[in-house]
Structure 1
Amino acid sequence: MITTIRGTTRKPVASQRLADFFATRQDLTGTLYLGYPVVGTPEGAYPIDAIWINDAKGIILFNLIEGRDLGDYVEWQDDSANKLEAKLRNHRSLMKGRNLLISVTPVTFAPLALAHELAIEGPILANESNLAVCIDSIPDDEQAYEEAVAVIQSISTIRKGIKKRVITTENSRGARLKQLEDSIANLDNLQGRAVIETVNGIQRIRGLAGSGKTIILALKAAYLHAQHPEWKIAVTFHTRALKGQFRRLINTFFIEQTNEEPDWKQLQILNSWGAPGSAERNGIYYSYCQQAGTQYFDLTGAREQFAQGSEFQGVCERALAESTTPLDPLYDAILVDEAQDFSPAFLKICYELLNKNKRLVYAYDELQNLGSSSLPPPEEIFGNAADGTPLVSFSKPIPGQPQQDIVLEKCYRNSAPVLATAHALGFGIYRNIPEKMTTGLIQMFDQSELWLDVGYKVINGKLEDGQNVKLGRTPESSPKFLEEHSEIEDLIQFHAFGSVEEQNEWVAHSIKYNLDSEDLNPNDIIVINPDPISTKNAVGPIRKQLFNAGVQTHLAGVDTSPDVFFDDTGASVAFTGIYRAKGNEAGMVYIINAQHCYTSWGSLARVRNQLFTAITRSKAWVRVLGVGPNMEKLVEEFAQVKAQKFELNFRYPTTEERKNLNIVNRDKDEKIIREGEKRINHLIKDMQAGRVFLEDLPSDQVEMLRALLAKKAD
């Protein structure tokens, strides 16, 4: 059976008839791309109407003709085949000597062509009546199918590291990481579909950490820009440190597709908030205020008007409420990453800034939500039309049509043991059952079927309320090569230390050893402190030890621009709080002070999501480190994950139990109260000194504290 992936095309009728033909050929396999790829030439981007890639026939290159005028289709066949072959020849994996390892056969498909014009030999001209004969006449031969798919999807360059690796020792960490990056050569069909297919309307992409959401959005933006250079496209996100990554990904992909730089005036990478000034300071919310003529609030003004932690939600809701006239559309398409961290009001603003086609793509992962709320369904986000019907409602997938709601089940970053550990701790699967509670679970998906959607299978039991169930990752959703490069004991480790000094010394020594003896580059390493408030002080002693050892480091967003995460030179190890770590990844991840993620007097779900997000930044190895009794309990919880062979074994909560999963009872222990007092004092001092910024604060905890203080005052 053939997988059909539909890109944007200016030949919709011929494209549909070609897709319909292949739908009838159940005996054929491979992938049919419509409106894809775009080939870079000295004259610029050269879009190809359609290709079919098959492991026996190679690449069949289609020129689609909508009407009766056939034009000089022979010249087109020569021109397009030469251009595509030139692209393929740039990739060593597709060459043996001077010969391509995959054949390219051009075919002109003209549904309205007359019978006497058709030809199955020489320059092939076909319609539905003779296309089957034409395809069957192409000789079968062994083809470099997988390699060709990787090149056509232009993913191999994107997925590799930024800096070329120098390997001095066989099977070192650096050597294994290079092999791992090289193995991730192409997207699976579902991810490829998410990149290329675009609907006229809303498209939602959901997936686990490491499933490729950020890369998909970057490639999608570049592809749409190549196909429609006249479109005005915006890419936006919550974490400012993603801006540099998006620019690099889009630039790399666009050059590989077109041999040109993107037109950054047409394709804009924008912060979500924005401010007046240069184009670099522009943002979605600021643009909306300009278009709608509503009052714009900067951060200082927003703090005076809205609750702490809800400033951005407040300004977006105010802008929507004050806008009374229809807007002139600013964009043909908007792509939103990290949508779980935005309020519905921000997505509604994006919707209002679009033209009538409303091409809005938003991607998210609920478990990477570092607040306490989650996105409602699209019917609720975008509201109703005048007749009361929802403006946006996702229909069930229709075979052969672009999907509106895509769930990515395959994880291309985290191995199964790492991802299962992150889920087990994030959900509290093996947490000790607290007093007066029937389950140790902290949170749960709203629908049990979502466990299957994100790549788990039921090993035994039932995925039903009140029933015991055991879930495990599948080889399809967590490819085995992601874990086979190292022993499981090396993939993920938890360590409890007797003091912060012991922890810091261990981390500094380990990083020095990674760099000196294991062929890792500085930008292969991230050190994450889950608590954003204390990060600057917490990482200082480790950075000092590394400085004395000759290792350069930086605190992301403080020593660098807020829009930059990794040092541009690749010569510096990144230290960060959890909020800036989101959307980034590295081969080796060190998580320090993880004891703060065991429990919380503010929000247990939030701190567990911080731990989940930190663990899932790792492409290969992760070290979870902490101090004291709470870290020892976290180590015990991880030991249960290992004992269960990294499977999730639990009783599925009932409806009544699920109502209480996010309720955290404040522990009356005096020690916890004293620790809370110290942290509040520390926060106040840091805010007064300007060492803590609004975007680094956990908004739900601040709002909860504000509400509690107000209640106490009453």
Structure 2
Amino acid sequence: MIEVIWGSAREKPVASRMLAEALSAHDDAHGYLYIGYPIIGSPTGPMKMDAILVSPQYGLVAFDLVEGTELGDFEARQDDIASMLEVRLKPHAGLKSGRALKFDINVVTYAPAKQILPNTQPPYFLANGDNPLSVIRNFRWEASGDVYKNLVAAIQVVTSIRAGRQKREPTKADSRGAKLKRIEESIANLDQHQSQAVIETVDGVQRIRGLAGSGKTIVLALKVAYLHAQNPDWRIAVTFNTRSLKEQFRRLINNFTIEQTGTEPDWEQIDIINAWGGPGDKERDGVYHKFCRANGIDFLDFSTAKRKFGEQKEFSGACAEAIASVSNPVPLYDLMLIDEAQDLPIEFLRLCYKSLSDPGRLVYAYDELQSLTGASVLPPEELFGNAADGTPIVRLNQDDGGPRQDIILEKCYRNSRPLLATAHALGFGIYRERGLVQIFDQDALWTDVGYVVEDGVLAEGMQVTLARTPDTSPEFLENHSPIDDLIQFKKFDGNTEQTDWLVQAIQADIREQDLRPEDIVVINPNPLTTQREVGPARQKLFAAGINSELAGVSTSADIFTKAGCVTFTGIFRAKGNEAGMIYIMNAQDCASGWDKTATALGRNRLFTAITRSKAWVRILGIGPNMDVLIQEWNKLRANDYKLHFKYPTAAEKAQLRIINKELQGRGRRRRKATRLQRDQLLQAVERGEVDPDQLILELENLKRSGRL
């Protein structure tokens, strides 16, 4: 059948819907129908395609859609469409022979409301509501199957922004630098599923879920650029929890817009904006601060919110009060996109929704396994609250044949199979002696995120073996190096030995393995101890002639990596970023906590740290808790990096932290309040709401007074 990928169809909604229904209704027709895509740059500005069909039976067919009955100069429009598509496709070597494409570009003007069509001669074609497929069946794909695959790839590729920003010139063919270059070249293009996630456009709320490394941040950035090109009059905002994502978003949006349209984005219409924000210049502004200012209500800074609402409730309390203070909020944006939703309070997501003009276009993305705060993302029916009549304001998964409202990205393009399986095994506690720590709410989510049931049954109380396949974990991500080099665990007797090994390994990476300093990131999972813990290693590297930066401390809060420098970071700033080589210090801190909630959060830190790696990871630690992690990893290795465990019963699930909870005819579960003041405080520091120097001074005063 023909799969429909719904881009922006707001200019010609009726004709778009009728074309999609007419073509997808025939099971004997196959291919992809793109609505509102692609956008092609031209000397007169971006040219938006109404729709294109890519079919192994009928080839490439572009559609010129007409909403009413006036056809106008359809021949000139068809000529322009064919010319622009030819320009777009000819740079792809596999699609041309000499100077000509290996296939025809057919264009059809589709006017469903037009009852009687005038006669035309090829290459001009007309169709109405009764006969689009009968016209298309006159076309035939005459080229080879390989050419068709290349055509699909050329149409589906949204952009090639994953490639490294600086050209690599390794000196050794088998060095890590050379291997990293080949990896980056292999993942330079978005895959088909990611491309569809970029293009699919909803007039309402859209949720994007996916594993670490599945491309959520990239999809959001490209969606901003795509919809900005389609709707240059829209006011668009993209917000997030990790400030170091700001420059990444700016770069991705800029690159995509230039690549697709030939022009830079209009930054007056796009805000890459913090979540909380505060008074000052535009870079310090935030969604909450802007909401307060626009609606004439009091803005609460972190200290004031803390006094008013208490520990861990600062931001949620401030947002809830702001919402309650305004009956008819001023619309701030036509579209908002939220990254890292798992680390933002539900009150903030509601505030974002209330900041939108009708019809409330909001896209939010998350991976609950990367939650570092203990919060769980509610089902959308609960997340956005109820209307006056008690019905949910937002419902997803409506199977109406339109654009998808709930998208799951199952393929991981950052982490190899062994790395991702290690992250999941440790994150869930699959091989933990004391049993699981957390589990998905819906059993089917395991297959949604790319696992297959290799043995057993994915059902309550049953033994099951879950494995990743080459379809969801591409083999090139692991075949470049022996598995024992991809991931290593190292236990040390003390901090000095850990630091010495780390420094020597980094020196070897740079001087013997062709890695650049910026290819290396060192993560300390405990955010409040990071500055102290990484100090000795940074000093020794400096003595050895290797520069480093402590992200957000010695660099701007909006910058994560710096050319020519190894990056040291706490776990919060690491989120959303990636590197070829990841070193994790003091991993023992992630093994367990005072209860299962704290244990789950510690393991989420380890999961998040491991999944920053594009190639290699070294997990370092000290003491008996490090033995716990190593024992679990050894069991995973013995099972060939497959997850073999007894699936929990409903009663057992009730004792675990539930991930990706969905509404299934039951009310909201009361979740345990956690005492994660350190993490909340660090987030406030990173958002710029707390002065780190003042915090250090206050901690020193407490220590001197004997209260710390």
Q: Tell me the TM-score normalised to structure 2 length.
A: 0.89
The answer for the alignment partner of 2:216 in structure 1 is 213
1:495·1:626 contact (CA, 8 Å) conserved in 2?
A: yes
1:195·1:216 contact (CA, 8 Å) conserved in 2?
A: yes
- Give the counterpart letter for 1:337 in structure 2: D
Alignment of 1:608-619 (within 5 A): 608-619=603-614
CA distance in 2, matches of 1:662, 1:126: 56
1:280 aligns with 2:283: yes
- Give the counterpart letter for 1:255 in structure 2: I
CA distance in 1, matches of 2:311, 2:95: 56
- Give the counterpart letter for 1:83 in structure 2: M
Which residue, 445, 454, 460 being the options, matches 1:459?
454
Which residue, 644, 654, 657 being the options, matches 2:652?
657
Give a deviation string over 1:496-519, Cα, whole Å, max 9, x none.
Answer: 122222222222222222222323
Taking a change above 3 Å as real, the CA distance of residues 280 and 68 of structure 1, as seen in their structure-2 partners, is same
Report the 3-state secondary structure (helix = DSSP H, G, I; strand = E; otherwise coil) of the residue aligned with 1:444. Answer: strand
Taking a change above 3 Å as real, the CA distance of residues 470 and 619 of structure 1, as seen in their structure-2 partners, is same
CA distance in 2, matches of 1:98, 1:174: 37
The answer for the alignment partner of 1:391 in structure 2 is 393
1:466·1:654 contact (CA, 8 Å) conserved in 2?
A: yes
The range that moved more, 629-638 or 612-621, is: 629-638
Alignment of 1:14-33 (within 5 A): 14-33=15-34
1:533·1:696 contact (CA, 8 Å) conserved in 2?
A: no
- Give the counterpart letter for 1:266 in structure 2: Q
Alignment of 1:137-286 (within 5 A): 137-142=139-144, 144-286=147-289
CA distance in 1, matches of 2:166, 2:95: 23
Taking a change above 3 Å as real, the CA distance of residues 451 and 537 of structure 1, as seen in their structure-2 partners, is same
1:62 aligns with 2:63: yes
Report the 3-state secondary structure (helix = DSSP H, G, I; strand = E; otherwise coil) of the residue aligned with 2:439. Answer: coil
The answer for the alignment partner of 1:132 in structure 2 is 134
Report the 3-state secondary structure (helix = DSSP H, G, I; strand = E; otherwise coil) of the residue aligned with 1:518. Answer: coil
Taking a change above 3 Å as real, the CA distance of residues 113 and 167 of structure 1, as seen in their structure-2 partners, is farther
CA distance in 1, matches of 2:288, 2:352: 8
The answer for the alignment partner of 2:433 in structure 1 is 432
CA distance in 2, matches of 1:380, 1:534: 36
The answer for the alignment partner of 1:673 in structure 2 is none
CA distance in 2, matches of 1:97, 1:561: 51
CA distance in 2, matches of 1:155, 1:102: 22
Give a deviation string over 1:459-480, Cα, whole Å, max 9, x none.
Answer: 2222222222221123322222
1:40·1:46 contact (CA, 8 Å) conserved in 2?
A: yes
The answer for the alignment partner of 1:479 in structure 2 is 474
1:123 aligns with 2:124: yes
Report the 3-state secondary structure (helix = DSSP H, G, I; strand = E; otherwise coil) of the residue aligned with 1:511. Answer: helix
How much has 1:334 moved relative to structure 2?
0.5
CA distance in 2, matches of 1:621, 1:115: 64
Taking a change above 3 Å as real, the CA distance of residues 618 and 155 of structure 1, as seen in their structure-2 partners, is farther
Give a deviation string over 1:562-581, Cα, whole Å, max 9, x none.
Answer: 111122xx322211100000
- Give the counterpart letter for 1:8 in structure 2: S
Alignment of 1:76-91 (within 5 A): 76-91=77-92
The answer for the alignment partner of 1:305 in structure 2 is 308
The answer for the alignment partner of 2:366 in structure 1 is 364
1:529·1:577 contact (CA, 8 Å) conserved in 2?
A: yes
CA distance in 1, matches of 2:349, 2:687: 27
- Give the counterpart letter for 2:214 in structure 1: S
The answer for the alignment partner of 1:6 in structure 2 is 6
1:488 aligns with 2:483: yes
CA distance in 2, matches of 1:637, 1:110: 63
Which residue, 286, 295, 320 being the options, matches 1:317?
320
2:589·2:602 contact (CA, 8 Å) conserved in 1?
A: yes
2:102·2:143 contact (CA, 8 Å) conserved in 1?
A: no
1:118·1:126 contact (CA, 8 Å) conserved in 2?
A: no
Report the 3-state secondary structure (helix = DSSP H, G, I; strand = E; otherwise coil) of the residue aligned with 1:478. Answer: coil
Give a deviation string over 1:183-206, Cα, whole Å, max 9, x none.
Answer: 224444432232111211111111
How much has 1:415 moved relative to structure 2?
1.5
- Give the counterpart letter for 2:332 in structure 1: L
How much has 1:64 moved relative to structure 2?
1.3
1:328 aligns with 2:325: no
CA distance in 2, matches of 1:70, 1:31: 26
1:537 aligns with 2:532: yes
How much has 1:422 moved relative to structure 2?
0.5
Report the 3-state secondary structure (helix = DSSP H, G, I; strand = E; otherwise coil) of the residue aligned with 2:32. Answer: strand
The answer for the alignment partner of 2:575 in structure 1 is 582
The answer for the alignment partner of 1:596 in structure 2 is 589
CA distance in 2, matches of 1:3, 1:695: 49
CA distance in 1, matches of 2:93, 2:616: 30
CA distance in 1, matches of 2:139, 2:447: 42
Taking a change above 3 Å as real, the CA distance of residues 251 and 418 of structure 1, as seen in their structure-2 partners, is same
CA distance in 2, matches of 1:125, 1:640: 64
2:291·2:355 contact (CA, 8 Å) conserved in 1?
A: yes
CA distance in 2, matches of 1:289, 1:692: 17
The answer for the alignment partner of 1:701 in structure 2 is none
- Give the counterpart letter for 1:592 in structure 2: M
1:345 aligns with 2:338: no
1:571 aligns with 2:573: no
- Give the counterpart letter for 2:386 in structure 1: N
How much has 1:691 moved relative to structure 2?
12
2:157·2:190 contact (CA, 8 Å) conserved in 1?
A: no
2:160·2:189 contact (CA, 8 Å) conserved in 1?
A: no
Report the 3-state secondary structure (helix = DSSP H, G, I; strand = E; otherwise coil) of the residue aligned with 1:320. Answer: helix
1:154·1:253 contact (CA, 8 Å) conserved in 2?
A: no
How much has 1:152 moved relative to structure 2?
3.5
CA distance in 2, matches of 1:55, 1:297: 59
How much has 1:492 moved relative to structure 2?
1.2
Q: Tell me the TM-score normalised to structure 1 length.
A: 0.88
User: Unmatched 5+ residue regions in structure 1?
Assistant: 434-439, 664-679, 698-714
How much has 1:32 moved relative to structure 2?
1.2
1:204·1:362 contact (CA, 8 Å) conserved in 2?
A: yes
Taking a change above 3 Å as real, the CA distance of residues 634 and 134 of structure 1, as seen in their structure-2 partners, is closer
Report the 3-state secondary structure (helix = DSSP H, G, I; strand = E; otherwise coil) of the residue aligned with 1:372. Answer: coil
Report the 3-state secondary structure (helix = DSSP H, G, I; strand = E; otherwise coil) of the residue aligned with 1:607. Answer: helix
Report the 3-state secondary structure (helix = DSSP H, G, I; strand = E; otherwise coil) of the residue aligned with 1:490. Answer: helix
Taking a change above 3 Å as real, the CA distance of residues 692 and 260 of structure 1, as seen in their structure-2 partners, is closer
Give a deviation string over 1:614-645, Cα, whole Å, max 9, x none.
Answer: 01111111111112222122111110110111
CA distance in 1, matches of 2:23, 2:686: 61
The range that moved more, 115-124 or 222-231, is: 115-124
1:419 aligns with 2:398: no
Taking a change above 3 Å as real, the CA distance of residues 126 and 241 of structure 1, as seen in their structure-2 partners, is same
The answer for the alignment partner of 1:74 in structure 2 is 75
1:150·1:185 contact (CA, 8 Å) conserved in 2?
A: no
Equivalent pairs counted in the alignment come to 666
The range that moved more, 421-430 or 66-75, is: 66-75
Calculate percent identity across the aligned residue pairs.
Answer: 52
Taking a change above 3 Å as real, the CA distance of residues 459 and 14 of structure 1, as seen in their structure-2 partners, is same
1:154·1:257 contact (CA, 8 Å) conserved in 2?
A: no
Taking a change above 3 Å as real, the CA distance of residues 122 and 574 of structure 1, as seen in their structure-2 partners, is same
1:154·1:256 contact (CA, 8 Å) conserved in 2?
A: no
Taking a change above 3 Å as real, the CA distance of residues 692 and 186 of structure 1, as seen in their structure-2 partners, is closer
CA distance in 1, matches of 2:691, 2:248: 19
Report the 3-state secondary structure (helix = DSSP H, G, I; strand = E; otherwise coil) of the residue aligned with 1:59. Answer: strand
2:302·2:690 contact (CA, 8 Å) conserved in 1?
A: no
The range that moved more, 348-357 or 471-480, is: 471-480
Report the 3-state secondary structure (helix = DSSP H, G, I; strand = E; otherwise coil) of the residue aligned with 1:206. Answer: strand
- Give the counterpart letter for 2:517 in structure 1: P
Report the 3-state secondary structure (helix = DSSP H, G, I; strand = E; otherwise coil) of the residue aligned with 1:303. Answer: helix
CA distance in 2, matches of 1:120, 1:12: 28
1:102·1:145 contact (CA, 8 Å) conserved in 2?
A: no
- Give the counterpart letter for 2:484 in structure 1: E
